[in-house]
Amino acid sequence: MIVPELLTQVRDPWIQRVSQTLARGIGVRESFVTELGRFYDLMMQAVVTGDSAWLEPILYDWARSPTETDLDQGQYHVAFVMNRIISLTIEVARETLSEQEALDYIATVLPVFSYGLEVVSRYEMETRLTHIATEMADVQKKMEQLDRSKSSFIAVAAHELKTPLTLIEGYASMIRDLAVALQQKSIDTLIVGMNGGINRLRQIVDDMIDVSLIDNHLLSLNVQPVQISQLLDLLRNELTPIVQERQQVLETQKFNGSDTWIFADPERLYQALRNILSNAIKFTPDKGAIKVAGRTLPGFIEITVADTGIGISSENQALIFEKFGQLGRADLHSSGKTKFKGGGPGLGLPIARGIVEAHGGTIWVESEGYDEKKMPGSTFHILIPARTDAADPRLTKLFDSLDSNRNQASDVKETT
């Protein structure tokens, strides 16, 4: 018997066996029988013409048929169906045809089925990848929306807090003046404590405002001549009482480039360095040491802040520069702002990064890991562009853009 006749003889029993085995329910089976008939006819056409591509239209339809639930669960139904169809085809051929005819039939259709299985697997994988890409795009969109919501919340909260805070500060000042006039020292002591809380709250509000400005790319720089050594001297004077209280050693070294006049925002740069030094003091135990040094690199001045503190694990070295990036349990932090492992909102280092990047520089940290017994310490690296002209860094026509500087800074970071 020739092959076309074999294909025709097997068609009906093949459709009956496959539909009964794979389809569930009478309604489902009726529609499935129609699809099976279409499939078998295309398979016959592929065998007769020698072109397996005849199967592609129906295979494409089948591969695109999974529901969202199927895709979410990672189920691959069509590839399973094709594998099962191949097994059932061999069974039906053996039951319907003679041994030689069955061998001829199987040898003829098996390459077509194998081709179909390959096509289905590829189509299903493409469908799955498209589904995953869509999910990732949705997640990315939600994350961006969440980040915008967080930035909006920070901006609104900071604005709303600032007004009543100003009122409280004003009334506290009036009460203090009245206490002085009435020579009520006990009240004056209470007012001093109140002012301490007000100042702490004002710092948090100011930090929230700065974070909002950085997130929305609204941080402005008042560029003027400055020397790094001047900022370090001011910082050492400001932080000396805190360091002495903690019995720590704060060493600021002169280095090549520290006395060079560069154009930057001294107030913002001071703020960034203070945040980094305060972080080093906070996470260095009593009687520890913090050392500030640096060097000149092509186009940049590098400032390093090294401490003998608890260190930072590799997985957390990027987290500390994110907003509210607290390490460890916040309820186990000490309440003091400068005490060992003191608490805080987790905005100091993100603000420092935002300020440094606004100048066209970059910042990163190196540490052998976290260990409260061995105290491996951490070293922060800050790269500041060594600009010696008076151009505002926002004027991209007068000198390299900030993006170019950041790329160059990243190259320097990799080489160092």
Query: Based on the domain organization, do 263 and 320 belong to the same domain?
Result: yes
Could you tell me if 175 and 259 lie in one domain? no
Query: String of b and e for 243-261 (b: at least 16 CB within 10 Å)?
Result: beebebebebeebebbeee
pLDDT classification of 269: cutoffs 50, 70, 90:
very high
Q: How confident is the model at residue 264 (pLDDT cuts 50, 70, 90)?
A: very high
> CA 108, 112, 118: angle at the middle one, nearest 5?
150
Q: How confident is the model at residue 412 (pLDDT cuts 50, 70, 90)?
A: low
Q: Which pLDDT value is given to residue 304?
A: 96
Residue 251 has pLDDT above 80, yes or no: yes
Q: Which of 111, 142, 173 is the last residue of a domain?
A: 142
pLDDT digits (tens, 9 = 90+) for 209-235: 788 788 778 888 999 999 999 999 999
Shared-domain flag, residues 121 and 159: no
Tally the domains of the chain: 3
Question: 3-class DSSP state for residue 116?
Answer: helix
Query: Percent of the chain beyond pLDDT 70?
Result: 78
Same domain? 108 vs 124: yes
Residues 6, 7, 9, 10: is their CA dihedral positive or negative? positive
Average pLDDT estimate for 335-355: 77
More confident residue, 27 or 126: 126
Mean pLDDT, residues 43-59 taken together: 86
Q: By C-alpha distance, which of 265, 257, 236, 288 is closest to 356?
A: 265
Per-residue pLDDT tens for 177-198? Answer: 777 777 666 676 777 777 777 7
Q: Is the pLDDT of residue 370 over 60?
A: yes
pLDDT at residue number 414: 56
Question: β-strand 378-385 against 362-367: which pairing, if any?
Answer: antiparallel
Q: What is the mean pLDDT of residues 130-153?
A: 76
Q: What's the average model confidence in pLDDT over 53-75?
A: 65
Q: Are residues 177 and 229 in the same domain?
A: no
What average pLDDT is seen over the chain? Answer: 80
pLDDT(262) > 90: yes
Range of the domain at 320: 224-415
Q: Is the pLDDT of residue 154 over 80?
A: no
pLDDT at 121 over 50: yes
pTM over cut 0.85:
no
Residues 87, 175: one domain? no
What percent of the chain is predicted at pLDDT more than 90?
31
State residue 353's pLDDT score.
95
Which pLDDT value is given to residue 407? 56
More confident site: 30 or 140: 140
Kindly tell me if the per-residue pLDDT of 416 is higher than 70. Answer: no
Residues 294 and 372 occupy one common structural domain: yes
What is the rounded average pLDDT of the residues 144-163?
A: 68
CA distances for 29 relative to 34, 43, 117, 242, angstroms = 9, 20, 22, 81
Segment (H or E) for 135: helix 99-181
Q: Are 200 and 240 part of one and the same domain?
A: no
Same domain, 209 and 312: no
Q: Are residues 191 and 304 in the same domain?
A: no
The answer to whether 288 and 308 have CB atoms below 8 angstroms apart is yes
- How many Å separate Cα 413 from the centre of its chain? 20
Residue 104, pLDDT > 60, answer: yes
Kindly report the CATH number assigned to the domain that includes residue 64: 1.10.490
Q: Which of 142, 177, 206 is the last residue of a domain?
A: 142
84 & 178 share domain:
no
* Residue 30 φ/ψ, nearest 5 degrees: -60, -45
Same domain, residue pair 99 and 154:
no
Domain termination site, one of 121, 142, 163: 142
Question: Which of 35-39, 125-129, 167-171, 268-272 reaches the highest mean pLDDT?
Answer: 268-272
